[in-house]
Chain A
Amino acid sequence: NAGVTQTPKFQVLKTGQSMTLQCAQDMNHEYMSWYRQDPGMGLRLIHYSVGAGITDQGEVPNGYNVSRSTTEDFPLRLLSAAPSQTSVYFCASSFGQGKSGTEAFFGQGTRLTVV
């Protein structure tokens, strides 16, 4: 099992460019999430999904889009990159959260720099 795979590991974008961060999991997890991590800010939830076809906003959704067409994949799209989106991005998946939480597995992260 590969677990949670994120690509790319590193990316430099120019302001205004668009890109998609890929996330795939092979554990048949229902729940997938995207986080950004900035110094002193912890892990902030961007978007999450409780199953294929269902997504919802987290704490910091502005500037990001997601879709969940399959159970395995949960891409994060930056439509027009801004320097404020410079961060480390993590994707995570689990069998469940909320009342019946279960262990979340994280990808290795994508370090994004917007210049």
Chain B
Amino acid sequence: GQQVMQIPQYQHVQEGEDFTTYCNSSTTLSNIQWYKQRPGGHPVFLIQLVKSGEVKKQKRLTFQFGEAKKNSSLHITATQTTDVGTYFCAPSKGGGTSYGKLTFGQGTILTVHP
């Protein structure tokens, strides 16, 4: 099954409102990636976080990796209709049995009302 719990499953916002999705793991992660999938499209890589407490920004998107490397979040400030889609986290535990494996959270479906 999935390594992480991603919440919420759905989020409806009014254009201009903020949005946050969370990815929570019961075990320590080596790194975590985030992907966006537009409706009818394929997943597209957004970012990878590696360091404890890391924060990265891409324009209106802010990504955080928790101090314990067990959780991560993606925050969008002032959503736009172009932000519509499903956001997936993809956690990695590192080597061993996880070597070469990329698995995904269940995703958060974001809809933005203009």
Write the residues of chain A forming the contact surface with B, with a CB cutoff of 8 angstroms. Answer: 31, 33, 35, 40-45, 48-50, 56, 58-59, 90, 92, 94, 97-99, 101-109
Instruction: Tell me the minimal C-beta distance from A49 to chain B in angstroms.
Output: 8
A68 to chain B, nearest CB (A): 12
Bound CA span A98–B102, Å: 7
Q: Is B2 an interface residue (CB 8 A)?
A: yes
Please provide the 5 A-B residue pairs with the shortest distance between their CB atoms, ordered closest to farther.
Answer: A50-B100, A99-B94, A42-B106, A106-B42, A103-B45
Q: Measured between C-beta atoms, what is the minimum distance from B48 to chain A in Å?
A: 6
Give the A-B pair count, Cβ closer than 8 A. Answer: 85
Q: B residues bordering A, Cβ < 8 Å? A: 1-2, 6, 9, 30-31, 33, 35, 42-45, 48, 88, 90, 92-95, 98-107
A103 CB to closest chain B CB, in angstroms? 4
> Are B101 and A97 interface neighbours, CB within 8 A?
yes
Known: A33-B102, A40-B106, A45-B102. A101 touches B30 (CB 8 A): yes
A-B contact pairs, 21 of them (CB 8 A): A40-B106, A41-B106, A42-B6, A43-B104, A48-B100, A58-B101, A59-B103, A92-B43, A94-B102, A97-B92, A98-B30, A98-B94, A98-B98, A98-B100, A98-B101, A99-B94, A99-B95, A101-B102, A103-B48, A104-B45, A104-B102
Q: A50-B100, A98-B100 are in contact. Are A103 and B1 (CB under 8 A)?
A: no
A106→B45 CA distance, assembly (Å)? 9
A105–B35 alpha-carbon span in the complex (Å): 10
